[in-house]
Amino acid sequence: MVRDLEAALGDRIQSLEWMSDATRARALEKLHAFEEKIGYPSTWRDYAGVPIARAGLIADHYACAQWEAKRNAGKIGKPVDRGEWFMTPPTVNAFYSATLNSINFPAGILQPPFFDPSWDDAVNYGGIGAVIGHEMTHGFDDRGRQFDAKGNLEDWWTADDAARYKQRSDRVADQFSSYTVLDTLHLNGRLTLGENTADLGGIAVAYHALRKALARKPAGPIDGFTPEQRFFLSYARVWASKQRPAQLRTQVQTNPHSPAMWRVNGPLSNLSEFQQAFGCKEGDPMVRSAELRARIW
């Protein structure tokens, strides 16, 4: 799936009408340099020498903190360990590291509702596939794009390409700032821009990858839903949740991630693929008008 997603993002970078050949070459270089960390680390951390005893929880805590501080201090003056993991394998999360140019998917997230090897491709690509695409496109979002293929802070974009990118990302920011969450409280499109951009790009790339998978192994309807519809339903199911108003208000004001409802309805309303899958028409609630539609990757 990761290989399919990387190939799909490569296809899309190749076909971007707004990106120059110079920036395109650097973008593809960065894409092909992604380090993939999936499941668990190749080398396990050795905790030998950490004194742990059943009688003292606080003492155990300080012993672990001292050991970790010593381990970090031991990195000084040594080459960067590009294979180091910054999440434990059971963690249900994923992330992109700009300084290592790595995409990271611990074992904890490789389970329902994101992934199950018994599910058909459409459901898996709509679940973990969109997560993979999300983390990959973080490498090219408003923050990630400032780092090169080796993780160095470098401006590798031409001025014109950077301006065209900003124009498109501004459209994403404006879209999410227009959403009212509670009373008169709006989403902060600037605060959430990186995550919203990654959601939008991740879904588009995952869908492109699904088309590659279906070309190899065609599939038909299941329970009355086409593969394309199952893809989007799977993505929406990942974000099914309930939040109390107070918690929602706190998230909107402090968190770079949009609330779950808008992580689904926001990006999907921009995608012609979603509209075609469900037969939506211009003017429908889930179809943004052409002049407002956001599309980057």
Residue 297 CA to residue 201 CA, distance in Å, equals 5
- Active site members: 135, 199
Residue 294 CA to residue 278 CA, distance in Å, equals 19
Cβ 276 vs Cβ 206: under 8 Å:
no
246-265 CB burial, b ≥16 within 10 A, e <16: eebeebbeeeeebbbbbbbe
Q: Half-sphere exposure (CA, 13 Å, Cβ side) for 20?
A: 11
Cβ 251 vs Cβ 259: under 8 Å:
yes
3-state SS class at 222: strand
Q: State which amino acid sits at residue 69.
A: A
Residue 59 CA to residue 117 CA, distance in Å, equals 42
Nearest of 127, 105, 132 to residue 116 by alpha carbon: 127
